[in-house]
Structure 1
Amino acid sequence: MTEDSSLEMLVSTAHGIARQFGKDCEVCIHDLSVKDLEHTIIFIINGHVSGRKIGDGASKVVLETLEAIEKGDIIVDHLGYRTTTQDGRILKSSTVFLKDSTGKYRWVLGINYDVTALMNVDAALQSITTVESHDSSGDGQIPLNVNDLLDNLINQSVKRIGKPPALMNKEEKIQAIQFLRDAGAFLITKSGDKVSNFYGISKFTLYSYIDQSKK
């Protein structure tokens, strides 16, 4: 099967999912072969759910997966986890990773179903609205671009430590930077400048902390 036919089948699947669940179900396809992480979305239907469009960038889960691929970790799908939109609506999300004909991970199929209204209805809908509370993949909001994503990740790194950067010691900053590294934050262009400025350290110190966090 050619790459074009595989993508065509994936787009057909996305249309089917969106048609089955209606206008509150967003389905998008990311192309992992795209070098620019700000423009990984090559297809999206019902983009009004998250406010994204074709040409927008990678999500937190996609970044984490790219980082895991580079490290040689086992890749697993993230199914039925909770995310939120910029305006606070609750989504039930699933992220599926797909390989090309060479066996490399090439595409990501993302499904985001707006369950905000369903959270208040009869218990008969509980099986639809239940989300996996143990899956942390959905921490934070779905960003509109990679700059928003980087801001979200930096805020999460601060929450992990529980104090502002000015009060953190060296070990705490290393822990925060380890979180950012594992989340794939440093795959974003010029992220090193923003992180080093935020934590009040030099670029040289940042790279030193990254190396120490690997150990």
Structure 2
Amino acid sequence: MDAAQTDFYARLAHAIAVQFGSNCEVVVHDLETNDPERSIVAIENGHVTGRSVGDGPSHIVLDAVKAGKVHKLSDRLAYLTKTTDGRILRSSTVFIRDADNVPVGILGINYDITVLAAAADTLNGMTGTGPNDDPTGDPEPIVRSVADLLDDLIEQSVALVGKPAALMSKDERVRAIRYLNDAGAFLITKSGPKVCKYFGISKYTLYSYLDEAKGDQD
């Protein structure tokens, strides 16, 4: 994003945060930065997720960076997320676009509803007729650092396969590596060595698995 855009969205973030109070975090990500690991260029009430300017990225930022100049990325409004310390947030993600409709940034709003959710659970327990499935599913995690983000992506890849890395066959490891590649994990600096160590494979084998995964997609 250019300086004018950054200034405007930083002021907008401040206005939204002042309007809704200290439980409302508003964050601006620059998708055009040369360092996607430090995508946050403005943030208000960063104590909500424990982040500050220079931190990043989130899952959505990685998805957007990996997608590149894709016009079809859609805004997401009023979905649930979760911080590393277990607080529940109601989040919205709005893509900032240039004159050609290409996403160049993200405006994110994360409102801490932990106390409200606990009160709602209490009321439901007192007035409800029985347990109900949560139609929204599990909240998406919001991580504080790229290291936490990579750990979370690795855990998701293992959950996708359904067994520990030590028990995976070659095809299952390829499937896990494909998931990591699709999720943008390898955009994170020094992700390769950590993935190799976790899955017990060499750097050469990782490249071979990546080639095989990409070949399957083709």
The two structures have a TM-score, normalised by structure 2, of 0.84
Output aligned runs, 1:32-181, within 5 Å: 32-69=31-68, 72=70, 74-101=72-99, 103-121=101-119, 133=136, 139=140, 141-181=141-181
- In the alignment, which residue of structure 2 is the partner of 1:211? 211
CA RMSD of aligned residues (A): 2.5
Taking a change above 3 Å as real, the CA distance of residues 132 and 40 of structure 1, as seen in their structure-2 partners, is: farther
**Alpha-carbon distance, 1:7 to partner:** 2.6
Aligned-pair CA distance for 1:37: 2.4
1:78 and 1:132 map into 2 onto residues whose CA distance is 16
How far apart, CA to CA, are the structure 2 residues paired with 1:205 and 1:170?
10
Q: Which moved more, 1:59-68 or 1:14-23?
A: 14-23
**What SS does the aligned partner of 2:142 have?**
coil
| SS across alignment from 2:68 | helix
Point out the more displaced range, 205-214 or 53-62.
205-214
Q: In the comparison of the two structures, how many residue pairs are matched?
A: 205
2:20 paired with 1:26: no
Task: Give, as a single letter, the amino acid of the residue that structure 1 aligns with 2:50.
Answer: G
Q: SS where residue 43 of structure 2 aligns?
A: strand
Structure 1 residues 62 and 187: CA distance shift in structure 2, 3 A:
same
Kindly state the Cα deviation for residue 167 of structure 1 after the two structures are TM-superposed.
Answer: 0.4
Secondary structure of 1:55's match? coil
Q: Post-superposition shift, 1:122?
A: 5.7
| Deviation of the 1:19 alpha carbon | 2.1
CA displacement at 1:103 relative to structure 2: 4.4
Shift of 1:102: 5.3
Looking at structure 2, the residues matched to 85 and 120 of structure 1 have their Cα atoms a distance apart, in angstroms, of: 16
Contact map agreement 2:31 2:103 (CA 8 A) in 1: yes
Secondary structure of 2:105's aligned partner? strand
Give the CA deviation at 1:8: 2.6
Between stretches 84-93 and 29-38, larger displacement belongs to 29-38
- Higher mean displacement: 48-57 or 8-17: 8-17
Q: Which structure 2 residue ranges, 5 or more long, are not aligned?
A: 125-133
Query: How many angstroms apart in 1 are the aligned matches of 2:163 and 2:34?
Result: 35
Shift in CA distance, 184/73, structure 1 to aligned 2, threshold 3 Å: farther
- In the superposition, the TM-score normalised over structure 1's length comes to 0.85
Would the aligned equivalents of 2:94 and 2:108 in 1 still touch at CA under 8 Å?
yes
Name the CA distance, whole Å, in 2 between partners of 1:104 and 1:73.
6
- Contact kept, 8 Å, 1:3 with 1:100, in 2: the verdict is no
* One-letter code aligned to 2:97: K
